[in-house]
Amino acid sequence: MLIVHKYGGTSVGNLERIENVASRVAKAKREGNDLVVVVSAMSGETNKLISYAEHFSAIPSKREMDMLLSSGERVTASLLAIALQSMGIDAIAMSGRQAGIKTNDNHTYARIESIDPTAMQNEIAKGKVVVVAGFQGITEEGNATTLGRGGSDLSAVAIAGALNADACEIYSDVDGIYTTDPRIEPKAKKMDFISYDEMLELASLGAKVLQNRSVELAKKLNVKIIAKSSFSDAEGTVIGEESKDMEAVLVSGIALDRNQARVTIRDVVDRPGVAAEIFTKLADEHINVDMIIQNASVDHGTTNLGFTLAQSDINRAKAVIEGFDHDIGSMDFDDSVCKVSVVGVGMKSHAGVAATAFKAMAKENINIEMISTSEIKVSMIIAEKYAELAVRTLHSTYGLDK
C-alpha cells in the first residue's frame, strides 16, 4: 500500500514528539508500506513567525511572509528525516518545491495548480520514506508560497491525489472527528464516518481539525481521509462519500469560529453602487466578507453597513476602508465576536432547525447579532464571551451528547 501520513503542529511540537512520529512512520514502513509523510511546523512556530513580522509592519508584504512562513515546515521535515535515518529507515526530506508542488502567486493563500510527482516517485522506488514540508509550494517564477493556515492538510491530500495513494491519514492530537470540539464539550461523540459535504461545512465554519480546502480537494479527487491521533492507536474517523442507503442525520455537529470580527460602517451614502465598490475593493485584496447586514435607510439618505470577516484580515481591511475617502462616515471594528454554527445534511428536508437554535440561545440569554443560513447550516454571530456556553447549549439541544 502507498499511504500518505500527515502530522500536525502538536504532533511534531518538540524533539520527543518528532521521535514519536518517527517511530510510528518506521513501524508503518516495516509493515511493508510505501510512505510519504507530510509535516507541519512545530506548534506555535507559524504564529511566532507572524508576530515577528508584525513587529515591523501591520501589513507585511505577502511575498516575504511566504519566504518566512515556509521555513517552519522545512525545519520539521528535515528533523523527521534525520530521526528516521537514525532508526535505520532510509528517508529523504523535500521542500514543497522539491516535491513538485506548483501554485499560483496568490501569496499566503496560494492555490495548488499542479503536482509533478516524479521526484517523490523516484525516491519511493528506491525504498525511501519521502518526508515533505507541508503548507508550501512554488510559483512559476520560483517564489515560495504558502497555502493558507492549516494548509499542510491540503498538501497531504493533494499529494495523496497526485500519487494515487490508497489513503491519506491525518494525525493530530484528537483521535477523530467529534460532534463538536471535544476541548469545549467533553461530552462530544467521536464519529466513525462523516461525509465530505458535512466535514467541508464544519471545517469552513471553524472546526480546524481539518482545513476546509483540503476537504474540498479530497472530495474532488476522491481521496479517502482518515483522521487519527498521533498519541494513540484508536480507530479514527473516515471522511468519504456519503452512500445512498445512509440515513441523513438531522444535525451532525456544532462548529465554533473565534477568528471573526465585525466591521460597521456608519453613514454610508444611500445610492446604488456604494456597497459594491466597498466589497469589490476588499475582494481585490482577497479579503473574504461573510455575513452582511445593511440597515434600512432612516433619514438624511444614509445607511449603516455591517459585515463580518476573519480577524486575521482586519489590518488589511482597515487599510482598504480608510483609503475609501468618500460616501462613508465613521467605521468601527469589533473583534470580540465569534460565530457558532449548527451543521447537518438532514436539515435539507426538515424545517424548524433554525428556530430551535434561536430558542436555545434565548433561553441562555445569549443575544444573536447576525444570522445566516444555508440548506445544511445555521450560523450565528454572538459575543465571544458566550462562545463555549453557546456550543454546549446547542450540542445538548440537538441531542448530540446522547
25-64 residues in contact with ligand ADP (CB under 6 A) are: 40, 43
Q: How far lies 64's CA from each of 61, 143, 323, in Å?
A: 6, 10, 23
In whole angstroms, how close is the CB of 338 to ligand ASP at the nearest point? 19
Residue 236 interacts with, from ligand ADP, ligand ASP, Mg ion, none (CB under 5-8 Å by kind): none
Residue 205's identity, in one-letter code, is L
CB 35 within 8 Å of CB 29: yes
Minimal CA–CA distance to 137: which of 165, 167, 109? 109
Residue 11 interacts with, from ligand ADP, Mg ion, ligand ASP, none (CB under 5-8 Å by kind): ligand ADP
72 binding ligand ADP? (CB under 6 A): no
In this chain, which of 151, 236, 240, 253 binds ligand ASP, going by CB under 6 A? Answer: 151
150 binding Mg ion? (CB under 5 A): yes
In this chain, which of 76, 135, 146, 178 binds ligand ADP, going by CB under 6 A? Answer: 178
134 binding Mg ion? (CB under 5 A): no
CA–CA separation, 334 vs 351, rounded Å? 33
CA–CA separation, 84 vs 80, rounded Å? 6
The DSSP 8-state label assigned to residue 311 in this structure reads G
Q: Which is nearer to ligand ADP, 28 or 174 (CB)?
A: 174
CA–CA separation, 259 vs 312, rounded Å? 7
CA–CA separation, 103 vs 94, rounded Å? 16
CA–CA separation, 225 vs 200, rounded Å? 12
Minimal CA–CA distance to 185: which of 368, 394, 362, 363? 394
206 binding Mg ion? (CB under 5 A): no
Q: Which is nearer to ligand ADP, 7 or 307 (CB)?
A: 7
> What binding mask, one character per residue, do residues 191-220 give for ligand ADP by CB under 6 A, x or -?
-----------x----xxx-----------
15-54 residues in contact with ligand ASP (CB under 6 A) are: 40-41, 46
Q: Which is nearer to ligand ASP, 215 or 353 (CB)?
A: 215
| Contact positions vs Mg ion (CB under 5 A) | 8, 150
